[in-house]
Amino acid sequence: MMIEAALTKKQIDFLKVLITYIKEHQFPPTIRELCELTGLKSTSTVKGYIDRLVEKGILEREDDKPRTLRVVKALNI
């Protein structure tokens, strides 16, 4: 099964926003910046998206440090 198939549409949309930001700025956004970029109001919701993508092996991060998100799996999205 392809990883893309295991992602929800919302997760794919979230990941596209993250990847676009990283390509444009050469570093990842903060949680609050991701809230603004995605239109989500809650930092907890954004953290939930990140947690699911980390669990699926698509993202890596260093806990308790800002701007440490890394996309570790190349996806066709």
Show Cβ contacts of residue 13 under 8 Å, excluding neighbours closer than 6 positions.
Answer: 38
pLDDT one-digit tens code per residue, 7-22 = 999 999 999 999 999 9
Show Cβ contacts of residue 66 under 8 Å, excluding neighbours closer than 6 positions.
Answer: 30, 31
- Which pLDDT band holds residue 77 (cuts at 50, 70, 90)? low
User: Looking at the whole model, is its pTM more than 0.85?
Assistant: yes
Tokens of 31: 């949680």
Structural domain contains residue 33: yes
pLDDT one-digit tens code per residue, 20-44 = 999 999 999 999 999 999 999 999 9
CATH code for the domain in which residue 26 is found: 1.10.10.10
Rounded to an integer, the average pLDDT of 62-76 is 87
Q: Residue 71: beta bridge partners?
A: 59
Task: Residue 29: give the domain boundaries.
Answer: 3-66
Structural domain contains residue 54: yes
Helix or strand (DSSP H, E) at 34: helix 31-38
Structural domain contains residue 55: yes
In total, how many domains does the chain have?
Answer: 1
The owner of tokens 């893309």 is: 4
